[in-house]
Amino acid sequence: MPNPRQIYMAPSILSADLLKLEEQVNQVAKNGADFIHVDVMDGHFVPNLTFGHNMVATLKRFVDIPIDTHLMISNPDMYIEAYAEAGSGILTVHQEVCTHLHRTLQAIRQCGMKAGVSLNPATNVNTLEDVIDELDLILIMTVNPGFGGQTFIPRSLDKIRAARNLIEASGRNIRLEVDGGINTETVAQVIAAGADTLVAGSAIFNKPDIVKAMQDIRTAGEKMLQ
């Protein structure tokens, strides 16, 4: 039976060349990317600093596919409106920093964005059972967040399967995204485990032909669905 899942590609600009940001983002956006993934880091929740909502607003000046913002920050509630105003299509927060996760997800949706929750490698999928109705996307971190170019953690595959089961049991339309160490080698396993949305940074932007690199990952994933 054909698998109804459609693979979405979400190139992460963390590994893009900032001097060529417009050119590189346009290249992937015009050649099949479904989302542009923006990694926001605060130097507190994760040991690295990147960009803020200004980056989302800047991208929106020339990109019309959804911006998929991944907040790796300690205080996401403070910035929900700012990301909505900047034009983020999806806003993903980390479960580990949200004391009132249900309320946070409602606030994201009330601002007109899709709501996502990300889980660190140490966080169990069952922490999402009671917020499943408020979710549009689950992001399973397949490395510890904070840096591009890290090695995929194989144990994540069990979590992807658990998240897929949770989504299927809910009967809801929720995307299952994976982030960290995704490349032409690891993609087959994550798709087989149930992922449908692939973040990739270094495996796209560190390659000489970024469009081909993105398409190669998608093609390798699609083989698992045939």
Q: Which residues are catalytic?
A: 39, 179
Binding mask 43-82 for ligand DX5 (x = CB under 6 A): ---------------------------x------------
One of 87, 116, 194, 201 touching ligand DX5 (CB under 6 A): 201
Q: Which stretch binds Zn ion (CB under 5 A): 65-73, 94-102, 149-157, 189-197?
A: 65-73
Contacts of 7 (CB under 8 A, 6+ apart): 191, 196, 197, 198, 218, 221, 222, 225
95 vs 116: CA distance, rounded Å: 10
CA distances 176 to 30, 116, 168, Å, are 23, 10, 11
Of residues 144 through 173, those in contact with ligand DX5 by CB under 6 A are: 145-150
182's contact among Zn ion, ligand DX5, none, with CB below 5 to 8 A by partner kind, is: ligand DX5
The minimum distance between CB 14 and ligand DX5, in angstroms, equals: 4
Choose the stretch contacting Zn ion; rule: CB under 5 A; options: 18-26, 44-52, 178-186, 211-219: 178-186
Give which of 60, 6, 23, 20 is closest to 38, Cα–Cα: 60
Residue 116's binding partner among ligand DX5, Zn ion, none (Cβ under 5 to 8 angstroms by kind) is: none
Which one, 199 or 213, has the nearer CB to Zn ion? 199
Between CA 34 and CA 90, with CA 64 as vertex, the angle to 5 degrees is 60
Instruction: Calculate the alpha carbon distances from 106 to 46, 94, 134 in Å.
Output: 25, 15, 7
In 3D space, the residue among 119, 188, 198 whose CA is nearest the CA of residue 159 turns out to be: 119
| Spatial separation of the C-alpha atoms in residues 39 and 205, rounded to whole Å | 14
Shortest separation between residue 14's beta carbon and Zn ion, angstroms: 7
Q: Which of 39, 68, 136, 177 binds Zn ion (CB under 5 A)?
A: 39
Smallest distance from Zn ion to CB 169, Å: 26
**Which residue ranges make up the site for ligand DX5 (CB under 6 A)?**
12, 14-15, 37, 39, 70, 143, 145-150, 179-182, 199-203
